Each structure stands twice: as C-alpha cells, then as structure tokens.
Structure 1
Amino acid sequence: MNILNILEEIEKVDGEIYERLSPRRAAMKSFFSVGKKLSLAAMPLALGSMFQKAYGQTAPASVTDVLNFALALEYLEWNFYNHALVATPSLVPDANGAKAAITVIRDHERAHVNLLKGALNIASPTDPATDGYKYANFQFEAVLADVFTNYQSFLKVGTALEDTGVRAYKGQAGVLKGTDVLTTALRIHAVEARHAAHLRAMTAASLGVNLKPWISYAANGNDTGISLVDANYAGEQNTMQAGIEINGLGGASQTQAAESFDEALDGVAVKKLANAFIKDGFKLT
C-alpha cells in the first residue's frame, strides 16, 4: 500500500482531507515533489508532517483506523518476506537473482511500514522484528502448510499477496484525475505491478509452467492454485469495462478480454485475504 491508497481510504471517512491539506492539488504536488528528493529514511517524517498539517498533532480516530489497517497489511507482507530470508535462509535460492529480488521486495515493504508509522507519529525501534505486528501474530502456514519449507509454495503465496495489492490499488488514478500528480500516480502503480509480475515470473520458472506476468483467465479467476484466496480473484473473468463488452472487440477472445484489465478489490475482500494469515485476536475488522 502507498500514500495514494491511504489518502483514498481516509477520504471515505473524512471527505475534507484534501481541503485540510489546502488545497488538494498543491498539497499532493508538493508532497510528491519533495518525495522525489528525500531518502526512504526521511519519507516517514515528510508524511507525518503532512498529516500534522491536516489534523494537528492527533488525527481523528476514523483516520487513525485507516492508517493502522494499512500498517497491518504492510507488516503482514514484511514479516512474510523477512521470515523467509532470515529464519529460513536456504528457502530462497541465490541462483538467477531470486534471493536478491525477494530482498528488494522485503525492503520495500519495510519502507512502507516506516512511511505509515510516520503518518501515525510512531517512533521506530532499533530492531524492526520487535515492531508492531510480530511474526508470532501471523499464521502463514495456515494458508499453505509448507510455505516456508517449499520454495514453490512460498512463491505461490507471495504471488497471491502481490496480485491482491495490485487489484486493491486500481482506481487510484481516478482519485487524482485532473491533478498534476496523475503521472506520478501511474508510475507508482506501474512499480507495484512490476513487483507482482516479477514474482509471477519467478513462480513460473520454478514450477516449469506457463504462468503469465498478469492474472490469467482461469475457471475460478484464480491461477495460483491456492483455493483459500479464490475470493480475492473474483471478477477477474469480467469482460465488461466502462459499460462496454470488450469480448470480441477487435477480434479479442474471451480470454484476452478478461486478461486485459485487473479488477478492483474492495476493503472487505482485502481484509478477508489478510485475515487468513492473521491469528485470532489480531484479525482486521
């Protein structure tokens, strides 16, 4: 999740968020312009400053809930990749840059955690493993029992997580339509999509199958082979876009039409996926 997702979710509970940033276009343009010049370490401070401008020292409970939800999802992803790299170092092979790629993705998730903590004014401890959601709060093995002992299972679960992230992001460009930062938003989306595509390529190479870089047409919309996340691929067979049936348009087959677009996921579906990985007592509501 990134700043665009966060702001759209906050807008649902605080319709005046952009007016608080005074004005929306200028604030967003300023934030992204500054963001290009800042290191990842400084970004949490910049985001925290932006929210302080909007709300003062303390954001309302509804906004804090949104930020904490986003933070929980980033902790989920960071713990998933970090555990694979640190606790089971032989799981991801060094060959073909696999371990390097997972390390980069893991580090990106940590940067997202720090970004959100900056917005919530939460100080970062020295050891990130003791921060916020702990690995012990999760149950990754409940999704696939051999997720940290079988490299292919690990890749399948990672693919499901990244696919869901891309679908959850869809629609963000519409939030910024008509603003100066639309191009930036699309670039961020493209980076997120590349993460998903890279994991899919790694999965395909490991399994020796023709898994496409995007969500492919399947009987239930889910091409990962993990039945527990079937609901998070719902709608991926859709061939109607903007009220127009694109099946057959320009000679496109049903498969081509369905694979041409990622379908948006709402918060309920995203939480359903997340809660499959979270132990009782810590689940998202």
Structure 2
Amino acid sequence: MNIFKIIDEIQKVDGDAVDRLEYATRRSFLTKFSRNLSAAAVPAVMATIVNKAYAQSPAAIDVLNFALTLEYLEDEFYKMGNAASGLIPSMYQTVFRQIGKHEDQHVKFLAGALGAQAVAKPTFDFSAGGAFPNPFSNFDTFVFLSHAFEDTGVRAYKGQAGNLINDPALLEYALQIHSVEARHAAKARAILSEIRGNADIKPWITLNEGSPAQVYAGDDNTVQGGVDINGIAGKSKEAITEAFDEPLTKDEVLAIASLFIV
C-alpha cells in the first residue's frame, strides 16, 4: 500500500489532511479547532481501502469494533443534541454541528473498514440510568457529557495504538481520529469553562486539575514510554503533564461506556 498515494487521495476531498497527521497537544488542538472548523475528519471513501488491506487481521478487527462502539455512542449523542429544540445556544451551534459531522464520518469510516464484521449499534441511555437527568434539555449537562465522552475517546485511541503497531496505515488513520477527538475535547472544555464562568476548567489538563469529570485519575503522571521525563529540558511538572494524554485500557473504557449502554 502506497501511503503517499492514499494521502493524495484524501487531500482531494480534505485539503487539511496532512495538517492533521501531525501530533499535537491539547493546547494546539484548541488553536487549530477554529481555523479548521470546516475540515472533514477521516473521509469515509478511504474505508474500503483499509478494509481490503487490514480487515483480515483479528487484532485490527477487535480494535476497530471497539472504536466503532465508542463512535456509535458519540455519533448518537450529537445527533440527539443537535436535533433537540432549544438545547444549544446559537453561538455554539456551528461547533456542535461540526463535531457531529466528524463523529458521523468516524462511524462510516470504521463501519466501512469492517464491512460485515462490524458490531451492531447499541441502544443508548445518555442519562446513565438517571445519573445525568435531562441531557438534551440542559445545556450544561450536554456539554459536561460531551467533554467526558471526548476525553474517553482520546484516551481509548491512545490505549489501542500499540495493538495496531503491525498495521501501520491503519494506525495512521486511528491517530488521525485521535487528533480530531482531542480537538473536540479541548473545545468542549473551553465551552464548559465559558458557560460555568470557571477559569479553572481549561482546554488542557494540568496535573489532576481543571477536569470536572475526571476520566482518569493519573493525569499528574510524568512517565512516558517507561521513562520519567519530569524536569526534562528544565520543564515544570505542570508543563510535562499538559503535554500528554494518558491511555485507558479497553476494559477501563468499556466500564465508562457501559454506563450509557442499555
């Protein structure tokens, strides 16, 4: 498979594709979000190429179905939220409509790559059995859940990256989705900060602070790739923790997602 030819094909329908291949921190995701707001996520037209090349790998199938379950959840959440009358203030409607488009494209991409092996879409309860009442009539609750789902997605993709190491092109696509999810998470945090008037809620996470729905308890971790990088190049621990998202295992992610699956 010629990855450069694939990128050229993506560029025909998505002019910012190469830009999104770059790894970026939450801080840069926030600044890029408004600039690339209209950019497509991973084009669904490339799913058939991935399917032909990688769908025979059992490990890849498992990872893709795991990712697809999460994307089903996010896609349904934004479809319901964007359709709910009076939920999203006009100043935020463009943002959440664009996020919804991204999630729809993620579902189509993953389902297309899996073909007949794709898992069925679950039934969701976004109130989590009443723990989050009225998620589609209360904007604060909606944004709160948005940032929690996006944070979970970011960590889920990072947690599965090692399982795709033998499928380099598929890993490339997964990391593209990972970067889009991180931009979503950063923007949702920024909006939550605005509507709550709470400057401690930031688009990025410093130590274990500033996250109203902490998905992972180890955000102050400074060990990356088995090496403790605390103090590297004179950087503070705060700066080090802002630079990385921590991975979640499949079981940890499903424990969170299962709260919203009937």
Q: What's the TM-score once normalised by structure 2's chain length?
A: 0.71
Mapping for residues 262-281 of structure 1, pairs under 5 Å: 262-279=245-262
Deviations 1:27-59 (A, max 9, x none): 44443332222477994343224322456xxx4
Name the counterpart of 2:6. Answer: 31
Cα separation, 2, equivalents of 1:62 and 1:187:
19
Determine whether 1:51 maps to 2:51.
Answer: yes
Contact 1:29 1:180 in 2 (8 A): no
Pairs within 5 Å for 1:117-136: 117-121=111-115, 132-133=120-121
1:75 aligns with 2:61: no
1:198 to 166, 187, 196: 187
SS in 1 for 2:127: helix
Counterpart contact for 2:164–2:170, Cα < 8 Å: no
* Superposition map of 1:158-173 within 5 A: 158-170=146-158, 172=161
- Higher-Rg member (1/2): 1
- The equivalent residue for 1:283 is none
1:147, CA displacement in angstroms? Answer: 2.2
- Shift of the 37–181 alpha-carbon distance from structure 1 to 2, 3 Å rule, reads farther
Question: 1:14 matched to which residue of 2?
Answer: none
Q: Which amino acid aligns with 2:46?
A: A
Q: In structure 1, what is the Cα distance between the partners aligned to 2:132 and 2:221?
A: 28
Rate the CA distance shift 1:257–1:119 in 2: closer, same or farther, 3 A. closer
Compared CA separation, residues 139 and 187, structure 1 to 2 (3 A): closer
Given the superposition, is the C-alpha separation of residues 90 and 44 from structure 1 closer, same or farther in structure 2, using an over 3 Å criterion?
same
Mapped contact 1:163–1:215 kept (Cα < 8 A): no
1:126-147 per-residue CA deviation (whole Å, 9 max, x = no partner) reads xxxxxx526xx11210242232
Q: CA deviation at 1:246?
A: 4.0
Which residues of structure 2 form unaligned runs of 5+? Answer: 15-39
Preserved contact between residue 50 and residue 170 of structure 2 (Cα < 8 Å): no
Instruction: Decide which of 239, 247, 251 is 1:256's aligned counterpart.
Output: 239
Q: Tell me: CA distance 1:32–1:174, structure 2 relative to 1, closer, same or farther (3 Å).
A: farther
Length, aligned pairs only: 229
* Shift of residue 159, structure 1, vs aligned partner: 0.6
- Aligned CA RMSD, in angstroms, stands at 3.6
Change (3 A) 1:42 1:199: closer
Return 5+ residue gaps in structure 1 as ranges: 1-25, 123-131, 280-285
- Measured after TM superposition, the shift of residue 174 of structure 1 is 11
Quick check: 2:13–2:43 contact (8 Å CA) kept in 1? yes
Question: Structure 1 residue 149 and structure 2 residue 143: aligned?
Answer: no
Pair 1:260–1:102, CA change in 2 (3 A)? same
AA of the residue aligned to 1:121: G
